[in-house]
A and B are shown apart, each in its own frame.
Chain A
Amino acid sequence: MKQSLYLVKASVLYILLTGATVLMSFPLFWMISSSLKTLAETNSAGIVWIPDQPTLQAYIDIFHNTNFLRSYFNSVFYVTLSMFGTLISIAAVSYAFSRIEWPGRNVVFFLMLSTMMIPAQALIVPQYVFFNKLNWIGTFNPIVIPGYFAGGAAMIFLLRQAMAQIPKELDESAFVDGATHLQVWWEIILPLLKAPLATIATFLFVGLWNSLLTPLMYLQTIDLYTLPVYVSTLYNINQTTQPWPTIMTAAVLTTVPLIGVFFVAQRYILESVVISGLKG
């Protein structure tokens, strides 16, 4: 009796979970399925779950579309350039907040945490004017350079928490041997933090890769467009029919790096979402 009750409970649970999984991943399935369809099939009045004759025509076309390829390259380029600077500066600032005692540290740290309250959008207007004065509109500079100044208070906090857990004796013995702070930071502390650094790199990557608002503001010409900006132009509200197979092909190719990174790093990500959320 008790066992059959357990079986019923378990099967209900699995049905619910599977149903939720299907619903949650449905857009992904639909994206892939639509990218293999013809235009007629994407607009058909009946449901076409999987096209009878999947066509790779949209993929072939998009690999001949120089605007798409360039926007892909632009995204990879700016994300890489921005990520490295951001990661290193975050690592430096976290070191200051976790392993050095200096007057004013608590005040600066509190200030940093309170910037999490400021919505990024409140800053875009004056920043736009500032970058306009520097003649940086129409270049990659405004979307790359700000990150070099340790952009992202939540990421600093996450790394600081991880750094603070390393025993102090480690650097003290290094200092006795005559090491400098720079050496301790780069040669002792950072190599111990590969997992948190990978997590932060992943978060930065996802944020930069998805970013729409700032690239839209600053990259004024099509040869500078990043993927989200270019893909948004594929959908033209003034046309009666949208080139859905093309758009969905672009969408699949845009999300492939995201999904790849997520599968590689998911173990760390799922943990640190909770750490950064709850201790903050």
Chain B
Amino acid sequence: MPTNPYLNVSVIAVLTVIFIIASSYGLGALARVVVQLRGATPKIQQNTFAGYFFAAPWIVGFLIFVLIPLGFSLYWSFTDYRIASSAPVKWVGISNYAELLLKDTTFRASLINTLYLTVIGLPLQIGVALFLAVLLNQKMWGEKLFRMAFYLPVILGFNTAVLLCWRLMLNTGTGIINQIIRALSAFFPPFGYLNRAFIFAQEVVAAFFLGLNTGKYNLLNKVIEAGFPADVRVPLWVQSPLWTKMSVVMLMVWGCGTMMLIFLAGLNSIPKELHESAEVDGANGWQRFWKISFPLLTPYLFYNLVVGLIASMQIFEPIFVLYRDNQPIVSSTISMVYYLWQKTFSHFEIGYGSAISWLVLVIIMIVTVIQFKLQDRWVTYDVY
């Protein structure tokens, strides 16, 4: 293999293409032989060959990059496999899982942090998305421009560079967000009260979640004892363990554009006549929204909830960029995927990492299945 990295990957890419074409022919031919033996007509034989030929890249990729890796990691999750050590792999039974679920405080912290993101962050994200969608649905001039502006954060999303910009803005002392909060509070005292009320509520909730982590609620008591924050207080975004998760929630809310588009599609699909007849009957806008639009939006809400939950359980980039190596803080915001990355790639504990990834997979499956089971209770599919 050439040592030049660019040439190297180009050669490998060409070899991969040759491999894919060869395996496509192979799979197609194999499938044709099978249907031939079953006595299929020449037309069906031909279609079978073509079907498997064209689908082969995915089938082969599924085997190599999904099915076999999943099988291996399931096996490794029951061993003490470490990539760096030369010691033979030892079968340890369920001890990795037992350790994770019963003893490992960091993994428990990552579960509780995820819980915070789904209980506090997801409703905020969905609420803002719905609000923006309702605004955009008024069909006025410039709607397209606004829609673009609201979707752009999704494209920029979790790019490292954009996250670093957030890091700059969230600086406690000199960051622009706190500077604006200070200026507004000085200029307009009611805003200051609002800000301090928000700080108090946020810190109580965050302290409660940190208490869930350790089982001790000293911090919560301290926050409550300290009482209503003094008027110089500003949010401590990326500085205090009480605030790190709220900063991630802000990023989630900022990136609500996809959810907004889904809600917008839902609002567009509601027949105009329903609203018109309700208006004739004297229902005001607020009533019409909750009695007509909202029930018809529940399938879209359900979709956003399922996808949003999966996404919040897979958060990695914000934690990595904002809090990496900041040891005292990282445990207050560590996510399951961040922990997986840490265990596997700084400690090279493949067995333990495999157990984490299987747990994440199982948790996501369970949560999704529960959501599908519960949907009959609140999602409205029949309109008429």
Binding site for B on A (CB under 8 A): 10, 13-14, 16-17, 20-21, 24-28, 30-31, 34, 42-47, 77-78, 81, 85, 89, 92-93, 95-97, 100-105, 108, 111-112, 115, 117-130, 132, 139-141, 144-146, 148-151, 156, 181, 185, 206, 209-210, 212-213, 216-217, 223-224, 227-229, 231-232, 234-235, 237-238, 242, 244, 247-248, 250-252, 254-255, 258-259, 261-263, 266, 269-270, 273-274, 277-278
CA distance A34 to B162 in the complex (A): 12
Interfacial chain B residues near A20, Cβ < 8 Å = 132, 135, 146, 149-150
How far, in Å, is A246 (CB) from chain B's closest CB?
11
The answer to whether A130 and B54 have CB atoms under 8 Å apart is no
The answer to whether A117 and B368 have CB atoms under 8 Å apart is yes
The answer to whether B16 and A254 have CB atoms under 8 Å apart is no
The answer to whether A102 and B51 have CB atoms under 8 Å apart is yes
CA distance A29 to B340 in the complex (A): 35
Selected from A43, A108, A148, the residue in CB contact (under 8 A) with B55 is A108
Interfacial chain B residues near A247, Cβ < 8 Å = 161, 164, 168
List 11 additional A-B contacts (Cβ < 8 Å) besides A237-B324, A244-B168, A248-B164: A30-B169, A100-B51, A120-B314, A123-B73, A128-B344, A148-B61, A213-B341, A216-B320, A232-B320, A251-B164, A262-B148
Among A78, A102, A139, A144: residue with most chain B CB under 10 A: A102
Interfacial chain A residues near B55, Cβ < 8 Å = 92-93, 96-97, 102, 105, 108
Given the known inter-chain contacts A17-B135, A126-B354, A140-B9, please indicate yes or no for A102 contacting B47, CB distance below 8 A.
Answer: yes
CA distance A148 to B17 in the complex (A): 8
Given the known inter-chain contacts A96-B54, A212-B158, please indicate yes or no for A47 contacting B180, CB distance below 8 A.
Answer: yes
Q: Is the interface of B mostly helix, strand, loop or mixed?
A: helix
The answer to whether B176 and A228 have CB atoms under 8 Å apart is no
The answer to whether A262 and B155 have CB atoms under 8 Å apart is yes
Selected from A121, A242, A254, the residue in CB contact (under 8 A) with B337 is A121
Given the known inter-chain contacts A31-B162, A148-B17, please indicate yes or no for A224 contacting B5, CB distance below 8 A.
Answer: yes
Given the known inter-chain contacts A181-B54, A232-B321, please indicate yes or no for A254 contacting B159, CB distance below 8 A.
Answer: yes
Question: Which of B200-208, B220-228, B229-237, B257-265 is the interface stretch?
Answer: B257-265
The answer to whether A123 and B183 have CB atoms under 8 Å apart is no
Judge if B140 is at the interface, Cβ distance under 8 Å: yes
| CB interface residues, B 59-108, toward A, < 8 Å | 59-62, 64-66, 68-70, 72-73, 76, 83
The answer to whether A27 and B165 have CB atoms under 8 Å apart is yes
How far, in Å, is A179 (CB) from chain B's closest CB?
12
| CB interface residues, B 306-331, toward A, < 8 Å | 307, 310, 313-314, 316-317, 320-321, 324-326
- Interface size class on chain B is 35 or more
CA distance A6 to B35 in the complex (A): 69
The answer to whether A156 and B58 have CB atoms under 8 Å apart is yes
Interfacial chain A residues near B183, Cβ < 8 Å = 47
User: What are 27 A-B pairs with beta-carbon distances under 8 A?
Assistant: A10-B140, A13-B135, A17-B135, A20-B149, A30-B176, A42-B174, A81-B13, A89-B61, A101-B51, A103-B35, A112-B62, A122-B358, A124-B341, A124-B357, A125-B76, A132-B83, A141-B12, A148-B57, A149-B57, A181-B50, A210-B159, A231-B164, A234-B164, A263-B148, A274-B261, A277-B258, A278-B300
The answer to whether A255 and B70 have CB atoms under 8 Å apart is no
Selected from A112, A115, A148, the residue in CB contact (under 8 A) with B20 is A148
Among B13, B83, B155, B264: residue with most chain A CB under 10 A: B155
Q: Is the interface of A mostly helix, strand, loop or mixed?
A: helix
The answer to whether B69 and A210 have CB atoms under 8 Å apart is no
Selected from A121, A130, A235, A263, the residue in CB contact (under 8 A) with B314 is A121
Interfacial chain A residues near B326, Cβ < 8 Å = 237
How far, in Å, is B86 (CB) from chain A's closest CB?
14
Selected from A81, A118, A248, the residue in CB contact (under 8 A) with B10 is A81
How far, in Å, is B306 (CB) from chain A's closest CB?
10
The answer to whether B368 and A123 have CB atoms under 8 Å apart is no
| CB interface residues, B 273-316, toward A, < 8 Å | 300, 303, 307, 310, 313-314, 316
CA distance A122 to B179 in the complex (A): 41
How far, in Å, is B116 (CB) from chain A's closest CB?
19
Selected from B65, B174, B310, B314, the residue in CB contact (under 8 A) with A123 is B65
Interfacial chain B residues near A123, Cβ < 8 Å = 65-66, 69-70, 73, 357
Q: Which residue of chain A lies nearest to B337 when distances are taken between CB atoms in the complex? A: A121
Interfacial chain A residues near B54, Cβ < 8 Å = 92-93, 95-96, 100, 181, 185
The answer to whether A277 and B325 have CB atoms under 8 Å apart is no
Selected from A44, A81, A89, A146, the residue in CB contact (under 8 A) with B65 is A146
Interfacial chain A residues near B345, Cβ < 8 Å = 128, 217
Judge if B364 is at the interface, Cβ distance under 8 Å: yes
Q: Which residue of chain B lies nearest to A86 when distances are taken between CB atoms in the complex? A: B57
The answer to whether A28 and B156 have CB atoms under 8 Å apart is yes
Interfacial chain B residues near A21, Cβ < 8 Å = 146, 149-150
The answer to whether A85 and B164 have CB atoms under 8 Å apart is no
Q: Which residue of chain A lies nearest to B15 when distances are taken between CB atoms in the complex? A: A145
Question: C-beta contact mask, B136-153 vs A, less than 8 Å → 1, else 0?
Answer: 101010100011111111
Judge if B6 is at the interface, Cβ distance under 8 Å: yes
